[in-house]
Amino acid sequence: MNSPAQSLPRIVIATRRSRLALWQAEHIKQRLEARHAGLKVDLLPMSTRGDEMLEARLDQAGGKGLFIKELEVALAEGRADLAVHSMKDVPVEMPDGFLLAAITEREDPRDAFVSNRYATLDELPQRAVLGTSSLRRAAQIAERYPTLEMRTLRGNVETRLKKLDGGEYDAIVLAAAGLKRLGLGARIRAYLEPEQSLPAAGQGALGIECRADRKDVIALVATLADPATAACVRAERAVSRALGGNCALPLAAFARVDGSKLKLAALVASVDGKRIARAECEGALAAPESLGERAADLLRAHGAVEILAGIATPGK
């Protein structure tokens, strides 16, 4: 029987132009070429609206879909065969005609504290300026450190570090996975454990998107899928989906595999961190979406509906 690569000797990966996105696409390219002898993989770097709108806060600019719409157009038009995304940037509802063909093994899912002057969040003085692009991170940190001044931090990883180094912030918080993938792990002063800053749904995992009718591509990339990571991410995304999740909501969800079970923690917060609803539950590894929906029900029971109602209007 022919291998997928024999019927598809060349494929094109659509990718954003940032160094992290290019690293991720190159990583998948190398893994595919190593797994399928004779396969040639090319990259199609593209600029997205999310990359161009660097000053607006992401939830106010239009959300996570800003980073992938142009890539999906390239898939639809046949200029590319697949696209590689950070799963935390992928909207929970996929557009008609597209699917996630594989979710690969997760990198470090934690948030990372980066500063040139301070070793930990505990060392930051009152009114210190902390930069983050995430309402989720800001809300959780504000709950524990209400005297810090939170400021929006946009741009790619290098741009954010440059702003820190230029003195615009006393410290910043980024995803550990991105720093490690770019060889910048040495900039991390401290890791924020999930108990301190619960990660975003899908954080640290990569997803491979293609058209639903591309059975050849689906078969090709299936060899890169990591079932454990996929189950965790599916549970996390189910929480967000059940609560109408988007980047305008300070919502976090993080799952771990424990034998034949999944353990899931989730939260919803007010933007200022003064109100937070939390939930923890476990369920069968084979039914991650059901577990995510159960966690969402627990969050509602703990006041998530009222919290979400208070932030339903942007800027409120």
Residue 9, pLDDT score: 84
Q: For residue range 202-254, what is the model confidence (pLDDT) as tens digits?
A: 999 999 999 999 999 999 999 999 999 999 999 999 999 999 866 668 999 99
Q: Is 53 exposed, middle or buried (0-12, 13-18, 19+ CB in 10 A)?
A: middle
Q: Enumerate residues 6+ apart whose C-beta is below 8 A from 26.
A: 43
Q: What percent of the chain has a predicted confidence (pLDDT) above 90?
A: 83
DSSP run (H or E) holding 250: none
Q: For residue range 263-279, what is the model confidence (pLDDT) as tens digits?
A: 999 999 998 999 999 99
Rounded to a whole number of angstroms, the CA Rg of the chain reads 19
- 206-220 exposure pattern, b = at least 16 Cβ within 10 A, e = fewer: bbbbbbeebeebbeb
Q: Between helices 227-242 and 288-301, what is the axis angle to 10°? A: 40
Catalytic residue selected from 89, 108, 111, 170: 89
Residue 216 a catalytic site member: no
The residues pairing with 40 across neighbouring beta strands, listed in sequence order, are 10
Average pLDDT estimate for 188-199: 97
Say if 4-104+205-225 and 111-192 have the same CATH topology: yes
Would you list the domain boundaries of the chain? 4-104+205-225, 111-192, 234-310
pTM: 0.89
The two tokens of residue 112 are 């990372």
Q: Are 203 and 87 in contact (CB under 8 A)?
A: yes
Residue 309, pLDDT score: 84
Q: Enumerate residues 6+ apart whose C-beta is below 8 A from 178.
A: 20, 86, 157
Instruction: Write down the mean pLDDT value for the chain.
Output: 91
Higher pLDDT, 8 or 247: 8
Q: Are 193 and 110 in contact (CB under 8 A)?
A: yes
Spell out the CATH class of 4-104+205-225: alpha beta
CATH 3.30.160.40 is the classification of domain 234-310:
yes
Q: Are 149 and 168 in contact (CB under 8 A)?
A: no
C-alpha 309/C-alpha 303 separation (Å) is: 10
The two tokens of residue 102 are 């594989």
C-alpha 302/C-alpha 252 separation (Å) is: 15
Average pLDDT estimate for 67-89: 94
CATH 3.20.20.140 is the classification of domain 111-192:
no
